[in-house]
Structure 1
Amino acid sequence: MTGATPVGRVAVLGAGSWGTAFAKVLADAGRDVVLWARRAAVADEIQERRENSGYLPGIRLPDALRATSDPLAAVRGADAVVLAVPSQTLRANLAAWRDVLPPDVTLVSLAKGVELGTLARMSEVVREVAGVEEDRVAVVSGPNLAREIAEEQPTATVIACVDHERAVALQHACSTGYFRPYTNTDVVGCEVGGAGKNVIALACGLASGLGYGDNTMATLITRGLAETSRLGVALGADPQTFAGLAGLGDLVATCASPLSRNRTFGERLGRGETMEQAQAHAHGQVAEGVKSCSSIRQLAARHGVEMPIADAVHRVCHEGLSPRAMAADLLGRQRKAEFA
């Protein structure tokens, strides 16, 4: 593809915190935006009160942002469709929307994860379900905590697409005074970084819940970046991506911030809560790393990549390993050189 069509009208499918925040960014950038909400009550609240109180309470949404619970109305005439649903529900949702998508539309994934069972990255799920070539699919990744973006705090992100001109068109579509997008053609690296950071954030939360401090956090972030990078490179990613916004940037924000669902979920487990208790406190929001730790672990095994932190988080979440035993296991591993 050459000379990508400018993005004027955008549908955002999914009115959770990140979908709503990204829809606000697009509207602030001057796009014609329709936000689809699964529940009519949420769409009505956005239309009538200019707020999504369930996910971003207190944030006034732009008057130009429209909302609907009808997916056909949302996507009609769109130049780009943004998929803002959790990673493990993307396949089912996209299958329901596939037949109403406009021809040649750009599909943009906000989800960060690896699908259970298939071990597919989100762009691979989109390509398979929608039946499109890889140059039609873009992903957004970076240090993008939804609440801070909705409050218009300065941040940057990465828009990755193998078609550079399509990425540039999306870059122009969501550039604002507070939101700075960069482009990248390394979709694999951006997706692996985005999925891996959720798991490492769970580990950091577990450590925080146990009362460990900054040395432990720095160790987990650094070694977590190392193992995520190993997996990405094995899948064909550019190693440089992991030093950028979609790698280190996203990892630091998600591991350090109390706004991170994954870190907060891990912290509750570290304090002694059960999985059920931690989920109850999540108020319906999804800690993607809880499921992705299992699929990432399997994907790493398939490619012969060692990911000890992801493996340990899986065993805490799904095999009953205690957080304190997890720490002991990681520290008790065989000693070796930092860089092989």
Structure 2
Amino acid sequence: MGKSLAILGAGSWGTALAVVLAQKGHTVSLWSRRRKLAEAIKTCGENRRYLPGVAVPEVIEITDDLEKTVFRAEVIVFAVPSHAFREVLRLVKPCIGDKMVVVNAAKGLEEASLYRLSQVFAEEMGGTLERYVVLSGPSHAEEVGRNLPTAVVVASVQKQTSEYVQELFMLPTLRVYTNQDIIGVELGGALKNIIALATGIAEGLGFGDNTRAALMTRGLAEITRLGARLGADPLTFSGLAGIGDLIVTCTSMHSRNRRAGIEIGRGKSLAEALAAVNMVVEGVRTTRAAYRLALAYSVDMPITEQTYRVLFENLPPAQAVKNLLQRERTCEIRM
């Protein structure tokens, strides 16, 4: 039996989720902060701004009325950028009932507090996470919306809650796994964007597959180090939210972070690169937050550090590569 779902955020990911969840027979409402975008999606039958070429069925309610969107919902899916998560959560907080499940599909860290988004949720909602689920994994909206085979993971502190969402989201072309390591799933989804920026920068400099493989492998090592320090299960980073998402984000031109990195490697400033991508690049804010976390917890994250210096201290990208290659000798496997 279909459920009533409110999807908050009519970007590419929110739109793709609305499309596939409606296919399963759920009653889906898609909220856009901007009325003009909501009207354009209804008029065109697709989200030409964020997900062109993917038909948005008429059965999906498109609205800019937030209260109307969540009032009837049994499940709320947050598909807003991570920096907007707290703001939107505060707006809908009065409407979130005790039995309502909240699914967060954003991948990032809150820059001011350095919180994972589940920590933001717990702080705003009085410490409870029993009805909170994070959705992550290698899942470009452009492919999910076209029903190309995809596997993702959902994590919650409550096994029965993650299994409930697993059943809601499972489709013939969308396989959903469960995981109880909410810390690792959140960190994997957020931190891989930093490495995607770094591999994009290397590509923009003209480097090849060896460089990308080195950055991805060593990037996974530093993601795992920070994750373990913050309480995650290191094995989580060998799964969909870790290496799976890292692979797709570092190798696909659907990746905004990779594309922004390429522009920077070719000589553009951060502002120029973001303008060229013309969508939210989550890895930029995440780099700043992760750099501060690494310092606070004394975790060695050399790729994150050099990416930070390129983005925010005007370090030439070529010099960042030299800095990485000329570090002191060390062993490969360490925590």
TM-score range, shorter chain: over 0.9
What is the alpha-carbon root mean square deviation over aligned residues?
1.3
Contact 2:2 2:27 in 1 (8 A): no
Structure 2 counterpart of 1:33? 28
Say which of 146, 160, 171 aligns to 2:155.
Answer: 160
Distance 1:250 1:281 in 2: 23
Alignment of 1:1-340 (within 5 A): 8-131=3-126, 133-283=128-278, 285-340=279-334
SS in 2 for 1:57: strand
Distance 2:329 2:173 in 1: 45
- Count of aligned positions: 334
Structure 2 counterpart of 1:3? none
SS in 1 for 2:25: coil
Contact 2:70 2:92 in 1 (8 A): no
Q: Percent identity?
A: 44
User: What is the CA-CA distance between 1:64 and the residue it aligns to?
Assistant: 2.2
User: What is the CA-CA distance between 1:132 and the residue it aligns to?
Assistant: 5.0
The 3 A distance-change label for structure 1 pair 62 and 175 is farther
User: What is the CA-CA distance between 1:46 and the residue it aligns to?
Assistant: 2.8
User: What is the CA-CA distance between 1:69 and the residue it aligns to?
Assistant: 0.4
Distance 1:238 1:163 in 2: 16
- What TM-score do the two structures reach when normalised by structure 1? 0.95
Kindly report structure 1 stretches of 4+ aligned residues shifted beyond 6 Å. none
* CA deviation profile, 1:109-148 (whole Å, cap 9, x unmatched): 1111111121100111122123351112110110011111
Q: Which runs of 5+ in 1 are unaligned?
A: 1-5
User: What is the CA-CA distance between 1:330 and the residue it aligns to?
Assistant: 0.5
Letter in 2 for 1:213: G
Q: Which runs of 5+ in 2 are unaligned?
A: none
Letter in 2 for 1:56: L
Contact 1:78 1:102 in 2 (8 A): no
SS in 2 for 1:135: coil
